[in-house]
């Protein structure tokens, strides 16, 4: 088999195994819950029959292994179970399926994350590459100092500074990103501008520093020096000699930062009251709505693993040493 | 002095006894050579430590002392006004330095204790224990730590100790990786083998042979981890699942006073109030980053150029 294919397959298998273990961890978390949460959810006034029915619905009368396969099986078919909220002691069940809660919000979050990524990735790559090319110039030093400070700021600090400046003092963009389902596209973009700018600022700092480091690392290698000594023009050195080897680190950097975006999105959504999956998860944690928390955690973890997997595969596929085996 | 330079005598040089500078003197010399950013960072850290330790004497009012007027504006009585139930913001900021930094510091210490010990054991033994822990850490690191922390907090509830332990365990995975990676290079050295051959136990090899040689990267990592832990706890508190009221904490304070920001057009000072605890968080992370940067340059001769 071609070495690229076998390496990619190996990496895919490893990703799958990680995903399985992560799902086991997330599932086991519900087991760690102390005491009987049938009573905790339904309240003190619940009759024994309601609690028993609730326990039966969750499958608590079956062994854990059986329940795990039951859970993972329904997750595969897109069924994340039923939310804990909306249940009452009287046995009236107004709980909604988790999919209905998560579905539309997941779309919103993806929308926000992709806008932030669309702005930040090209910007950061441009800044990082130029800073690496003109390193130790005033431009580079300025960019480095600025990014080091932005990295140290918590997301909500950046968010509130933006709200204060361009949300309330000079109201250019709305400080509440309350998007709804039927909104026209551009109004949606307008509403999500402030959260996107916040995420962009946080991501660009990381992305730029890592791109700069990767490029500098590359430009220091002997074959680049050789190309320069041969008298190749600078642009050709970059495009023909440096870039083929730079794809892997740059892809890794982008994937790492998109993964970082997932975490950043939680805080930013809460600041701007954006109806996304991050806010849903925080609310579910506060109200201890375990099925929703599990679903959100699984989605976040799966995205995170998938992004890292993509970066690795791009790294393998674009590696010139693997493409031309001896 | 100039005469002594001209006429050289070997006997004089041998007779010249080198007096070793004290640790304090050497630190002072290093400090005088430090770049301004590092000096700034150290000054900020010192300032926060003093605030935290002497909080009860510095703060004008008590941590949870309630005054009749909620959301009072800035005045000579309450420098930064009061919060939503009438507690003095300045006092809570000062107490916050004690609680927030204290909890982050304890968490980082526990994380280093767990990660460091397991990392050293894994690096020295290199057997199935190493394999087991390493694969476990791989899986744990596949989940974003903020998400994992949120999930665990929903199970164990948000008490200060469960917060500390959860973040410490999640963070120790990264410490483990670094300790293991650096310790493996040292564990194959001859002097480590010599120590094992003369019958030293695992504890001795870990503490006396390997630890001193991997200390500089670990110390730098401690600073970075502290920043990361600090920001994670601040974010969790901001989300309302971290440090719980009435304990004064900067993340929680941002959340509680956030509504004031919409009045910035009428009273700029009110709009600035939620930014005070947020900038307190930002300032200490910037300061620690500056100091770590300087330390990295000093300890490893790490240069950015190549």
Q: Report d(CA B24, CA B40) in Å as an integer.
A: 20
| Smallest CA–CA distance from A217 into chain B, residue | B306
Q: Report d(CA A95, CA A75) in Å as an integer.
A: 18
- Contacts of residue A313, defined as CB under 8 A and 6 or more positions apart, other chains included, come to A8, A11, A12
Cβ neighbour number for residue A130 with a 10 Å cutoff: 18
- The number of C-beta contacts closer than 8 angstroms across A and B is 146
Chain B residues lying within 8 Å of A220, measured CB to CB: 305-306
The two tokens of residue B107 are 């968490």
Residue B246: asked if its preceding bond is cis (omega within 30°), the reply is: yes
Q: How buried is residue B269: exposed, middle or buried, by Cβ count under 10 Å (0-12/13-18/19+)?
A: middle
| Smallest CA–CA distance from A161 into chain B, residue | B275
Phi, psi (degrees; rounded to nearest 5) at B302:
-65, 125
Q: Do B150 and A266 touch (CB under 8 A)?
A: yes
Q: Report d(CA B95, CA A6) in Å as an integer.
A: 58
DSSP per residue, B128-155: HHHHHHHHHHHHHHTS-HHHHHHHHHHH
Of B120, B43, B238, B103, which is closest to residue A266 (Cα–Cα)? Answer: B238
Chain A residues lying within 8 Å of B143, measured CB to CB: 22, 25-26, 297, 300-301, 304
CB A265 within 8 A of CB A276: yes
How close, in Å, is residue A268 to chain B by CA atoms?
10
Q: In this predicted structure, what is the pLDDT of residue B115?
A: 92
pLDDT tens for A125-166 read: 888 888 888 877 888 888 877 887 777 788 888 888 888 888
Looking at this predicted complex, what is its ipTM? 0.78
Q: In this predicted structure, what is the pLDDT of residue A326?
A: 54
| Smallest CA–CA distance from A24 into chain B, residue | B139
CB B207 within 8 A of CB A234: no
CB B122 within 8 A of CB B177: no
Q: pTM (2 decimals)?
A: 0.81
> Looking at the partner chain, which of B138, B147, B234 has a beta carbon nearest the beta carbon of A154?
B234
DSSP state letter for B248: -
Report the Cα B51 to chain-centroid distance in Å. Answer: 16
How close, in Å, is residue A26 to chain B by CA atoms?
8
pLDDT tens for B83-118 read: 777 788 888 888 888 888 889 999 999 999 999 999
For residue A97, the SS3 value is: strand
CB B250 within 8 A of CB B96: yes
Q: Do B281 and A154 touch (CB under 8 A)?
A: yes
B6 vs B263, which has greater pLDDT?
B263
Mutate which: A28, A157, A166, A295, vs B, most B CBs within 10 A: A157
How close, in Å, is residue A4 to chain B by CA atoms?
23
Q: In this predicted structure, what is the pLDDT of residue B304?
A: 44
| Smallest CA–CA distance from B224 into chain A, residue | A152
DSSP state letter for A169: I
pLDDT tens for A255-312 read: 878 877 877 788 888 888 888 888 888 888 877 777 888 888 888 888 888 888 888 8
């Amino acid at each position: 088999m071609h070495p690229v294919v076998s390496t990619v397959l190996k990496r895919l298998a490893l990703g799958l195994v990680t995903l399985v273990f992560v799902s086991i961890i997330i599932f086991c978390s519900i087991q760690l819950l102390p005491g009987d949460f049938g009573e905790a959810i339904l309240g003190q006034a619940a009759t024994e029959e309601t609690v028993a029915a609730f326990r039966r619905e969750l499958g608590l009368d079956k062994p854990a292994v059986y329940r795990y396969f039951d859970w993972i099986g329904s997750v595969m078919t897109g069924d994340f179970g039923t939310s804990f909220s909306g249940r009452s002691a009287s046995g009236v069940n107004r709980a909604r399926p988790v999919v209905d809660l998560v579905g539309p919000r997941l779309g919103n979050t993806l929308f926000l994350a992709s806008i932030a990524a669309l702005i930040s990735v090209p910007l950061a790559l441009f800044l990082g590459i130029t800073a690496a090319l003109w390193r130790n110039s005033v431009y580079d030093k300025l960019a480095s100092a600025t990014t080091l400070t932005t990295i140290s700021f918590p997301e909500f600090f950046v968010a509130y500074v933006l709200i204060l400046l361009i949300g309330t003092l000079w109201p250019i963009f709305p400080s509440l990103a309350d998007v709804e389902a039927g909104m026209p596209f551009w109004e949606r973009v307008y509403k999500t501008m402030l959260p996107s700018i916040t995420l962009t600022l946080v991501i660009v700092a990381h992305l730029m520093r890592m791109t700069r480091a990767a490029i500098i690392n590359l430009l220091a290698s002997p074959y680049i020096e050789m190309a320069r000594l041969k008298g190749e023009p600078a642009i050709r050195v970059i495009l023909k000699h440096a870039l083929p080897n730079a794809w892997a680190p740059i892809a890794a950097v982008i994937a790492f930062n998109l993964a970082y975006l997932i975490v950043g999105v939680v805080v930013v959504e809460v600041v701007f009251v954006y109806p996304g999956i991050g806010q849903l998860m925080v609310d579910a944690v506060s109200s201890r709505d375990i099925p929703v928390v599990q679903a959100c955690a699984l989605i976040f973890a799966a995205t995170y693993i998938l992004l890292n997997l993509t970066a690795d595969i791009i790294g393998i596929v674009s590696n010139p040493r693997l493409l031309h085996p001896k | 002095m100039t005469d002594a330079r001209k006429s050289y005598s070997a006997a004089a040089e041998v007779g010249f006894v080198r007096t070793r500078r004290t640790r304090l003197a050497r630190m002072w010399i290093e400090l005088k050579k430090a770049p301004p950013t590092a000096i700034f960072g150290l000054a900020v850290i010192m300032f926060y430590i003093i605030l935290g330790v002497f909080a009860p004497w510095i703060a004008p009012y008590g941590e949870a002392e309630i005054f009749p007027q909620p959301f009072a504006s800035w005045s000579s009585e309450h420098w930064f006004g009061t919060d939503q139930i009438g507690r003095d913001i300045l006092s809570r900021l000062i107490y916050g330095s004690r609680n927030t930094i204290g909890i982050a510091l304890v968490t980082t210490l526990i994380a280093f204790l767990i990660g460091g010990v397991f990392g050293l054991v894994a690096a020295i033994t290199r057997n199935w224990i190493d394999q087991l822990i390493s694969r476990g850490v791989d899986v744990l690191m596949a989940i974003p730590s903020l998400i994992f922390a949120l999930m665990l907090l929903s199970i164990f509830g948000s008490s200060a100790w469960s917060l500390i332990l959860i973040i410490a365990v999640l963070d120790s995975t990264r410490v483990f990786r670094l300790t293991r990676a650096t310790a493996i290079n040292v564990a194959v050295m001859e002097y480590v083998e010599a120590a094992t051959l003369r019958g030293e136990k695992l504890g001795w090899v870990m503490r006396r042979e390997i630890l001193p040689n991997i200390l500089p990267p670990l110390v730098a990592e401690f600073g970075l981890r502290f920043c990361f832990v600090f920001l994670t706890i601040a974010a969790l508190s901001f989300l309302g699942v971290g440090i719980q009221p009435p304990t004064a904490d900067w993340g929680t304070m941002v959340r509680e006073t956030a509504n004031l920001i919409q009045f910035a057009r009428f009273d700029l000072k009110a709009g600035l109030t939620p930014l005070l605890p947020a900038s307190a968080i930002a300032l200490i992370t910037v300061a620690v980053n500056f100091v770590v940067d300087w330390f990295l340059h000093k300890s490893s001769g790490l240069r950015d150029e190549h």
